[in-house]
Chains A and B, each alone.
Chain A
């Protein structure tokens, strides 16, 4: 009985230790578990896959700061690889001041993999404050919102943006975010301008976007590291992309962590019932 009381009152630091081991250990074990594609990921992939270089540039907004980059950066990388594999033009930006550095870094790195040139094949926009106003402003005139790109080149001189005025020439805007910025893209981008919106979000926030997926206000969604791993699986299968699939590597750790959590919950419940039974007996 003492054992179950001890389990019930387990110091949270033991739980932390157990979690740390469960997360770190799988990185040293090479096991590949097949990944099944969920409908929201498939929807986003299919939409982007139907686009051609004539469809206009796709917009990827890195609406996150360094804290959530472990979960969200693999999504951005997979989306960029997909777009560059299809020779689509890409506009990257961020509604977060600290996200713009990540956007520039990742876009230029992935562009190098595909020999893409800034200004011709892709453009990185600088930070502009006031996120709702920025989305509304892109809906009117993107070159007015961003007079220059991140590197200071005038946007009206960039061939990547030839003929691009506003959302009408941008087939999809994808907001990758752990916060509520995708809501702003839905409210102002979709509702006001009819822009297709894609969402990449942390696992904890993914459930919030299901109502919008059902109503087709969101074209597709990548939910957490699993969503990123699913997208990596799709582009590896159909475009034979190279480079590290960070999300797929992380999947084993996530599987292990979830299993540990379930074991902990089961143990907690057994201890709860054992103690209750004991209390009843003594009463």
Chain B
């Protein structure tokens, strides 16, 4: 009787085992391949499994090894793993087992694979195409400008007012205060501000007016000093150049704002130019300038500071107009051509947006799929 029970148990567990094993590993497949677009430091393992179980156990070995090394235990919802601890050129094999409380399935093994380094990231092809396209437009317009083709650029009121602003300061015998934003030299807005400073300084030198340039960044201070010096030389008035009037104040945002506000109140400049990248100090500066009665021209690509400048300044140069300023003032054809290239870039973006909108209404993801950078 005792043996009869034991035999029954054995039959039962064998049944469960026989049922469970095919169900656990019967439908599993595994594939390992070199991770695309990487430096050859990883292998991607993907697997399919449709049965039941608790977790996956992932194993790895080199082809020459006999022992499997456990890599990770992963939840059943996971179907891929990137092994970034590989040696380039070494052949690896991956195996996966499905585990429940009591049973561990047989291992399903991948083909040998090795990690390789790629020379081009195909996921970035679209970016490369766009850069080259934009570059081609830019080169075309530079070529056209050099051949003497006239390029129409619309009027920018804030920049046209610069002459009037410098003239006013000269008439009043008061200085011009130029603030090149509070960002670093790596900021495009700062570069744009420096580009405006050149022509302004030249005009100031011609009129013999005072120019004050307090800086928040030491590198910007060195650059602005050089630019002003060069402009005074070009204007034939190197004798008027005073390096102490283009100086580094402090690296601290609000200490700088306080210092500049002090200059505004003490020196009472006739003209204040706030050009570059600004943060919360923008309104402190513009309001103080406004209270002193100075004519103020502001320009920034800091979208959140634009409303403050619009309310407190006489002219505001917005966003990309600031980048165009250097070219606009110098009238240099090669520089003007870049503004033209920007316009065509905008047209292309607008056309893409329109196409995207139409396709979106038609429930098509075609454009989104093309433009998604992987």
Q: Do chains A and B touch in the complex (CB under 8 A)?
A: yes
Q: Which residues of A are in contact with B by a Cβ distance under 8 Å?
A: 12, 65, 67-68, 97-98, 132, 178-180, 202, 204-205, 207-208
Bound Cα distance A118, B186 (Å): 35
Neighbouring A residues of B302 by C-beta, 8 Å: 180
Binary A-proximity of B253-269 (CB < 8 A = 1, otherwise 0): 11000000000000000
A204-B304, A205-B304 known; A178 vs B279 contact (CB < 8 Å): yes
Neighbouring A residues of B291 by C-beta, 8 Å: 12
A12-B291, A68-B280 known; A132 vs B186 contact (CB < 8 Å): yes
Contact partner, A178, options B183, B252, B277, B280, Cβ 8 Å: B280
The main secondary structure of chain B at its interface with chain A is loop
A67-B253, A208-B303, A208-B304 known; A180 vs B277 contact (CB < 8 Å): yes
Complex: chain B residue closest to A71, CB-CB: B280
Complex: chain A residue closest to B287, CB-CB: A12
Bound Cα distance A122, B268 (Å): 51
Q: How many B residues touch the partner, as a band?
A: 10 to 19
Neighbouring B residues of A12 by C-beta, 8 Å: 291
Which of A97, A98, A205, A207 has the most CB atoms of chain B within a 10 A radius of its CB?
A205
Bound Cα distance A73, B254 (Å): 17
Bound Cα distance A165, B254 (Å): 36
Neighbouring A residues of B279 by C-beta, 8 Å: 178-180, 205
Q: Which residues of B are in contact with A by a Cβ distance under 8 Å?
A: 183, 186, 251-254, 277, 279-280, 291, 302-304
Contact partner, B252, options A65, A132, A180, A207, Cβ 8 Å: A65
Give me the 6 closest cross-chain CB pairs, A-B, nearest first: A67-B254, A208-B304, A179-B279, A205-B304, A208-B303, A207-B304
Neighbouring A residues of B253 by C-beta, 8 Å: 65, 67, 179
Question: Once the chains bind, are A204 and B280 in contact (CB under 8 Å)?
Answer: yes
Neighbouring B residues of A98 by C-beta, 8 Å: 252
Closest chain B CB from A233 CB (angstroms)? 26
Query: Can you list 10 residue pairs at the A/B interface with Cβ under 8 Å?
Result: A65-B252, A67-B252, A67-B254, A98-B252, A132-B186, A204-B304, A205-B279, A205-B304, A207-B303, A208-B304
Closest chain A CB from B35 CB (angstroms)? 13
Bound Cα distance A180, B184 (Å): 12
Complex: chain A residue closest to B308, CB-CB: A204
Bound Cα distance A182, B279 (Å): 13
Bound Cα distance A231, B90 (Å): 50
Complex: chain A residue closest to B82, CB-CB: A168
Bound Cα distance A273, B229 (Å): 51
Question: Once the chains bind, are A202 and B280 in contact (CB under 8 Å)?
Answer: yes
Complex: chain B residue closest to A202, CB-CB: B280
Neighbouring B residues of A178 by C-beta, 8 Å: 279-280
Closest chain A CB from B352 CB (angstroms)? 15
Complex: chain B residue closest to A177, CB-CB: B279
Closest chain B CB from A239 CB (angstroms)? 27
Neighbouring B residues of A208 by C-beta, 8 Å: 303-304
Neighbouring B residues of A65 by C-beta, 8 Å: 252-254
**Other A-B pairs, 10, CB within 8 Å; known A67-B253, A67-B254:** A65-B253, A67-B280, A98-B252, A132-B186, A179-B253, A180-B183, A180-B277, A202-B280, A204-B304, A208-B304
Complex: chain A residue closest to B373, CB-CB: A191
Neighbouring A residues of B304 by C-beta, 8 Å: 204-205, 207-208
Complex: chain B residue closest to A64, CB-CB: B253
Closest chain A CB from B126 CB (angstroms)? 14
Closest chain B CB from A205 CB (angstroms)? 5
Complex: chain B residue closest to A97, CB-CB: B251
Complex: chain A residue closest to B182, CB-CB: A179
Which of B183, B253, B303 has the most CB atoms of chain A within a 10 A radius of its CB?
B253
Bound Cα distance A207, B302 (Å): 11
Closest chain A CB from B109 CB (angstroms)? 27
Closest chain B CB from A137 CB (angstroms)? 16
Complex: chain A residue closest to B305, CB-CB: A204
